[in-house]
Amino acid sequence: MCGRYVVVQKWEELELAFHPIAINVTDTFVANYNTGPGSYAPVVVLKNGFTALVNMQFGLTPFWAKKKMYLFNARAEGDGNVTDDINYTGGKGIITKPAFRKPIREQRCLVVANAFMEGSKLEKLAKPYLCYLRNRERFCMAGIYDVFIDKDTGEETHSFAIITTVANELMQKIGHHRSPVILEQADEMKWLQSTNLSEITAMLKPYPAHLMNAYPIDAAIKNQKNNAPEFLKPVGATLLTETAQVMVAEDYYWNKSKRNLRKE
């Protein structure tokens, strides 16, 4: 499941892409090379019809929960497709799951990322791969969020989950059974704005594998405290052939420096 990802996009680039008019001034956006459950990360939401860029906690807690739950992934198929059949064509059970049925209709978000980590179903992050788009651009994963209020303390937590679907060819090569739902850039605003449930669930599909690639990285990334560009260095060849060999980590645009994403 998609439980770790990289987000280092410059604030100015996010601002140009999403034109947010609502910004929480208490939020600080910093480069995160190992975003995992419990981390705070930038997501794009709609507020009163306008885009807003805010920090939320990775790992969704439903509003009705008695305590924090950290549901970091939400299966598009819900309780369907229990065998993770890559050819599954059944219903999108996410619309009926108690934790997700309200967010999928009313509380969707864009989870901004530059790459994500994945391992095989059995070995998980003991043998991790860094997965990215071949054009090296940022992308947005389909997310949902909720607001949990602790009844004892009154503390309010805004948290999100990444929606997953069946494995594309790249995830199959890694040996993993799921893919995060990566949205086409043309569909990003539609994901936030649509009120048509059929249109929303139609976007819950694997991203084309030929537009992606992956290479193995050090298993030290399994420790969420290892949060630096050196942990993204390749330790082997890319899974899919590219016209030019994948660059080493120091040359990746996301590794040029640790950049604060807050607007200067």
User: Which of 217, 233, 223, 230 has the alpha carbon at shortest distance from 257?
Assistant: 230
What average pLDDT score do residues 71-90 get? 96
Q: Residue 244 — very low, low, confident or very high, per pLDDT cuts 50/70/90?
A: low
pLDDT of res. 259: 42
Q: How confident is the model at residue 253 (pLDDT cuts 50, 70, 90)?
A: very low
DSSP class per residue in the chain? ---EEEE---HHHHHHHH--SEE-TT---B-EEEE-TT-EEEEEEEETTEEEEEEEEESB--TT-SS---B-EEETTTTS-TT--TT--S--GGGT-TTTHHHHHH-EEEEEESEEEEEETTTEEEEEEEEEETT---EEEEEEEEEEE-TTT--EEEEEEEEEEE--HHHHHHT-SEEE-EEPGGGHHHHHH---HHHHHHT-SPPPGGGEEEEEB-GGGGSTT--SGGGG-BSS--SS--SSPPPPGGGSGGGSS--B-S--
What pLDDT, on a 0 to 100 scale, did the predictor assign at position 224? 96
Categorize the per-residue pLDDT at 250 as very low, low, confident or very high, splitting at 50, 70 and 90. Answer: very low
Domain ranges of the chain: 4-255
17-41: pLDDT as tens digits: 888 666 554 556 788 999 999 999 9
Residue 117 phi/psi, 5-degree rounding, is -105, 145
Is the confidence at residue 59, as pLDDT, over 80? yes
pLDDT, mean of residues 139-144 = 98
Go through the chain and tell me how many residues it has. Answer: 264
What is the arithmetic mean of pLDDT over 104-120? 97
Measure the CA dihedral 159/164/169/173, to 10°.
60
**Of all residues in the chain, what percent carry a pLDDT higher than 70?**
88
- Structure-token pair, residue 88: 């599954």
Give residue 174's identity as a one-letter amino acid code: I
User: What confidence tens digit (pLDDT) does each residue in 194-211 have?
Assistant: 999 999 999 999 999 999
Residue type, 113: A
Distance of CA 102 to the CA centre of its chain: 19
Residue range 93-116: mean pLDDT, rounded? 97
**Residue percentage of the chain with pLDDT more than 90:** 78
pLDDT, tens digit, for every residue of 158-191? 999 999 999 999 999 999 999 999 999 999 999 9
Per-residue pLDDT, averaged over 147-154, amounts to 95
In DSSP terms, 95 is beta-bridged to: none
Q: Are 7 and 32 in contact (CB under 8 A)?
A: yes
Instruction: Please report the pLDDT score of residue 241 as a whole number.
Output: 86
Mean of pLDDT over the chain: 89
Q: Using 50, 70 and 90 to split pLDDT, how confident is the model at 214?
A: very high
What per-residue confidence (pLDDT) applies to 263?
Answer: 36
pLDDT of residue 148: 98
Q: Tell the CATH superfamily of the 4-255 domain.
A: SOS response associated peptidase-like (3.90.1680.10)
* pTM value > 0.85: yes
